Chain A
Amino acid sequence: MRKTGIIAAATAMLMTVGAASFTQAEEPKSGGTLVLGTTQKARHLNPAVQSGIATAVPGTQIFATPLRFDENWEPQPYLAESWSISDDGKSITLKLRANAKFHDGEPITSEDVAFSLQTVKDNHPFKSMFAPVTGVDTPDPLTAVINFEKPHPAALLAMSSALLPIIPKHIYGDGQDAKSHPANNTPVGSGPFKFVEFKPGEYIILEKNPDYFIEGKPYLDKIIIKNYKDITSLALAMDKGEINMYPFLSSTKDIVRLKKNDGLVVTDKGYEAVGPMNWLAFNTNNQYLKEKGVRQAIAYAMDRDFIINALLGGQSKAATGPVVPGSPFYAADVEKYDVDLDKANAMLDEAGFPRGDGDMRFALTIDYIPGQAELQKNVAEYLKSQLKKVGIDVELRASPDFPTWAKRVGGHDFDMSMDIVFNWGDPVIGVHRTYLCDNIKKGVIWSNTQSYCNEEVDKLLNEAGLELDQAKRIALYNKAQEIIVDEAPLAFINVLPYHTAYSKEIGNPPVTIWGTMSPLDEVYIK
């Protein structure tokens, strides 16, 4: 056995105890209701067949996963009390807790794990999570052995948060399509909270699971997730104390405003795994943008510091490559493209596009996702004025709503577009898709819509996806990122300023890498 989870778990436990002794001044107490406000509307509540924040937040309360992650990217026992990876990396053995039950009283067995994994593999949009899984053996009710055709280092992370919810086989195994199963609206899981009521587009009510497999938890009696129609009314509700938690707060104006409220805490912790990035994408099939020099010149013309400090109120971190800072795979040592208009002009001259009519070299359009003006439209407008300085005539192309934008960019009908893409924890899940040659899929949003293709990058990414040794894996990703940043199929701008605002009466706020997309069984009301 190469690495045993028990040891990792024990060390992590020691660490938590150490940290807890000075952060927790008071004992958590039971009772109270957490009212969480969001603008994200859940289609249903089963994360096995639906990714995204809206389903993940309630989904991780209702469904338990084999593992959970702490704030240091370390896996922790959850439904699985221990786990081990075989020497060849081709199988992972999970030992389940003996006392874990679904909310309807049925015990959780390895059969449920096997069934859940197959459901996720068949239906979840993140195909790369479990694509190498060949099958799950269930030698006894509490042991599940997951077999892979090749080593798959992303698997551990893919067994946490909302990515591998253990769903009851006795309910979902009735032959109905999991994507539209009626139980998705009235889910039965095994997590800290039980389903009570779901009014689509309005609210979700969850209550404490008294038979939760972790003794003494959760502390909260109830969680209410309230939908708000827009971020303005949501920020107002937080300010007025109508709700006591507002996760995925991203408007810098509201961040600044809520920080001024003495009754609230506003933190940017809890979004490391989501890794949300704001960038400018180039369609490399465009006659100008196919030139690397032109893309680099545009990157040099953009003043990232100005965007972050002036447009985004200094509330956001810089993004400099495919992986967000805060991830173990972040590459710090890459070209940063600090603003240099002279260099940009020189590069455009060199690329063979001299200034012509009206002092302009050529014209391009820029698209942006509607509804997120601060991160998208405002930056696009800034880029228009900035690129004019280097002789590129930019026209903004507005989209009335998301599907319109998605159709354009997904359909490769664009020159440049602002875009927001998430890392989703492991690069295999959320990073590879943007760069692999075989993921140039017309009509699919957030595939390789840039049509960027580099064989060496492909080779490095694929190799890194198989490497079990963390240090070697990091080195491979570093190399790949260096090439990608140099070739600039994207100009990286910033990490989304995701923050969680919560009332000071909340104890143990969710600060692990998955934030509110992890079980809130430690949260309590003071």
Chain B
Amino acid sequence: MTMTLLVARRLLHAFLLILAVLVLNFLLIHMAPGDPADVIAGEMGGATEEMMADIRKTYGLDKPVYVQLGVYLTRALQGDLGQSFFYNAPVLDLVASRAGPTILLVATALLFAIFVGTLLGVIASHKPKGFVSGLVTVVSVIGYSAPIFWTGMMLVILFAWVYPIFPIANMYDITKSGGFFGRVIDILYHLILPSLTLGIVYLAQYARLTRASMLEILGSDYIRTARAKGVAEVKVYGHHALRNAVLPVVTIAGLQFGSIISGAVLVETVFSWPGLGTLAFESILARDYPTILGILFFSSLLVIVANLITDFVYRLVDPRIRTGG
């Protein structure tokens, strides 16, 4: 019974969240001066009065905002995200074609941050006053306090001018043709800098988090017991201590999924990564309301799904949660 209730409550929350995101953003974007007709006229190098009226009529912009909102929400609830005002394509197609790169970027960055961050944290906890520990602290502070776009731009400068070994823009080189396998390698090659930039902030946090909780747990009774009964030190760290120490990392990583997506907007812009972030940025400049809302709709869904995954991983790592205790 409690499980059903839990799921129902979750779904209701999710629904309300998406509704709030859509309504708030719909109103916000309509408050910005200028509308798609101005943008389209600008793109065309001029337009006539009739034409601009026609554009507004086609997109329903001649109606009051609340009517537009009503129409939009009714359609969105039926799964119709509408037609992009700027591009001659359905929003769903645009979002679908851009979602892959964003998910790839965010997932890579997150996994990189979790694994490397945890590893660094564990190493640092081994000798809390040692060199590695000090290094982790320094890197963490820098990684955490440097704005993501700044890190990105510094990497661009470094790899564009000083060491031109990594590509600094786009997801792959369309002029190269190496078949499917070649394309995959090319994408991975292009993925290095953006995921590093996005991951480094979170890596720093996870390293510090792991270090702190490892230190706490390593001092607890059951670790002493494990050591006393002769468990190998590697197993003490890997099996006994880390399993508990990683819980806060999982919690934080799940909570931060929303912020990592907004970080992706900046990273995508810096590295011309053809994901949702770049599309969102362009759509705002183009006053392409349906596309912006479509992206927000999709990102809210992503965050909700990410939270569900977090719950699942939580249960996987910590058996106590599974039993409902």
Q: List A residues at the B interface (Cβ < 8 Å).
A: 33, 35, 41, 43-44, 50-52, 54, 125-127, 179-182, 184-185, 199-203, 205, 224, 226, 228-229, 233, 236-237, 240, 242, 401-408, 410, 421-422, 424, 430, 433, 441, 443-447
Contacts and interface: CB of A to CB of B under 8 A. Distances in A.
A125 B174 CA distance: 33
A447 B44 CA distance: 13
Contacts of B42: 402-403, 406, 445
Given A44-B87, A229-B272, A403-B39, A52 B175 contact: no
B147 interface: no
Contact of A41 (B164, B169, B175, B282): B282
Given A401-B34, A402-B39, A43 B45 contact: no
A432 to B, nearest CB: 11
B175 A43 contact: no
A187 to B, nearest CB: 11
B41 A445 contact: yes
B47 interface: yes
B175 A441 contact: no
Contact of A54 (B43, B49, B83, B88): B43
Interface residues of B, number: 41
Contacts of B89: 185, 200
15 contacts: A51-B46, A180-B58, A181-B88, A201-B282, A403-B33, A403-B34, A403-B285, A404-B34, A407-B33, A407-B35, A421-B46, A422-B45, A445-B41, A445-B46, A446-B45
Nearest to B283: A201
Contact of B287 (A54, A403, A410): A403
Given A50-B44, A228-B169, A403-B35, 18 more contacts: A41-B282, A43-B86, A43-B88, A52-B44, A125-B48, A200-B87, A402-B38, A403-B34, A403-B38, A404-B32, A407-B35, A421-B46, A430-B45, A430-B46, A441-B49, A443-B52, A445-B38, A445-B47
Contact of B49 (A203, A226, A403, A443): A443
Interface of B: 32-35, 38-49, 51-52, 58, 83, 86-89, 94, 97, 160, 164, 169, 174-175, 269, 272, 274, 278-279, 282, 284-287
Contacts of A421: 46
B169 A201 contact: no
Contact of B278 (A185, A229, A430): A229
Nearest to A54: B43
A525 to B, nearest CB: 13
A514 B300 CA distance: 46
A373 to B, nearest CB: 16
A199 B97 contact: yes
Nearest to A229: B272
Nearest to A404: B33
Contacts of B44: 50-52, 125
A240 B263 CA distance: 29
A105 to B, nearest CB: 25
B94 A228 contact: no
- The 7 A-B residue pairs whose C-beta atoms are closest, nearest first, are A403-B34, A44-B88, A406-B38, A446-B46, A407-B34, A125-B47, A200-B87
A202 B88 contact: no
Contact of B46 (A41, A125, A228, A402): A125
B174 A224 contact: yes
A406 B88 contact: no
A444 B52 CA distance: 7
B277 to A, nearest CB: 11
A125 B175 contact: no
B38 A410 contact: yes
Most buried by B among A51, A125, A240, A447: A125
A444 B49 contact: yes
B175 A35 contact: yes
B87 A201 contact: yes
A227 B206 CA distance: 36
Nearest to B48: A127
A229 B33 CA distance: 23
Contacts of B160: 236
A203 B173 CA distance: 11
Most buried by A among B41, B83, B88, B94: B88
B174 A203 contact: yes
Contacts of B51: 125, 127
Contacts of B39: 402-403, 406
Contact of B32 (A226, A403, A422): A403
A201 B38 CA distance: 19
Nearest to A182: B88
Contact of A406 (B41, B48, B169, B274): B41
A444 B47 contact: yes
Contacts of B164: 240
A180 B49 contact: no
Nearest to A446: B46
Nearest to A204: B174
Nearest to B286: A403
B88 A185 contact: yes
A447 B41 CA distance: 11
B284 to A, nearest CB: 8
Nearest to A205: B174
Nearest to B50: A127
A447 B47 CA distance: 8
Most buried by A among B34, B285, B286: B34
A126 B46 contact: yes
A224 B45 contact: no
A224 B33 contact: no
Contact of A201 (B49, B269, B278): B278
Contacts of A205: 174
A404 B31 CA distance: 11
Most buried by B among A44, A430, A443: A443
B286 to A, nearest CB: 8
Contacts of B43: 43, 50, 52, 54
A510 to B, nearest CB: 19
A446 B38 CA distance: 11
B48 A444 contact: yes
A422 B164 CA distance: 39
A51 B45 contact: yes
Contacts of A184: 88
A185 B84 CA distance: 13
A51 B43 CA distance: 8
Contact of B175 (A33, A185, A201, A228): A33
A405 B34 CA distance: 8
A468 to B, nearest CB: 25
B272 to A, nearest CB: 5
Given A125-B47, A200-B87, A229 B287 contact: no
B171 to A, nearest CB: 9
A53 B152 CA distance: 31
A184 B86 CA distance: 13
A43 B269 contact: no
Most buried by B among A126, A403, A444: A403
Nearest to B269: A229
Contacts of A408: 33
Contacts of A410: 38, 41
A233 B49 contact: no
Given A51-B44, A406-B38, A180 B174 contact: no
A181 B89 CA distance: 10
Nearest to B40: A43
Nearest to B43: A52
A521 to B, nearest CB: 21
Nearest to B160: A236
A406 B42 CA distance: 8
